[in-house]
Homo-oligomer: A and B are copies of this chain.
């Protein structure tokens, strides 16, 4: 499997980053990734409530191409995470205040509690559905 393109963090311009943040769905994804205590627990399919699969693919690509997220391929699944260390090295403090700002926005799409809590339980459907 071809392992997805990620830009070198030094090639990312501030305007590109802000462009990628200029959308409620993408801000929702970013907050959700942050809520997942980060690394590699977020499969793309966790976000089906946010938008259709093809639209999600589009938004994932935007975030990735702007240097904000990393995507790890494993089988037919993809795992997302925020490129925290690199972002903090290149734009110190920025990503945290962005996430903090987005987290306070009540109009962003949010992850259901079934994905949040610990992350260790079996991931079958929850009662109501």
Contacts and interface: CB of A to CB of B under 8 A. Distances in A.
Interface in A74-124: 91-94, 97-98, 100-102, 104-105, 107
Interface stretch (A19-27, A43-51, A52-60): A19-27
A18 B92 CA distance: 17
Interface residues of A, number: 24
A4 interface: no
A8 B90 CA distance: 33
Contact of A93 (B15, B97, B107): B97
A109 B98 CA distance: 24
B15 A18 contact: no
Nearest to A102: B14
Interface of chain A, helix or strand or loop or mixed? helix
What number of copies of this chain does the assembly contain?
A: 2
A100 B21 CA distance: 17
Given A14-B101, A18-B98, 18 more contacts: A13-B105, A14-B27, A14-B105, A15-B24, A15-B27, A18-B18, A18-B21, A19-B19, A22-B22, A91-B97, A91-B101, A91-B104, A92-B100, A93-B97, A94-B97, A94-B98, A94-B100, A97-B97
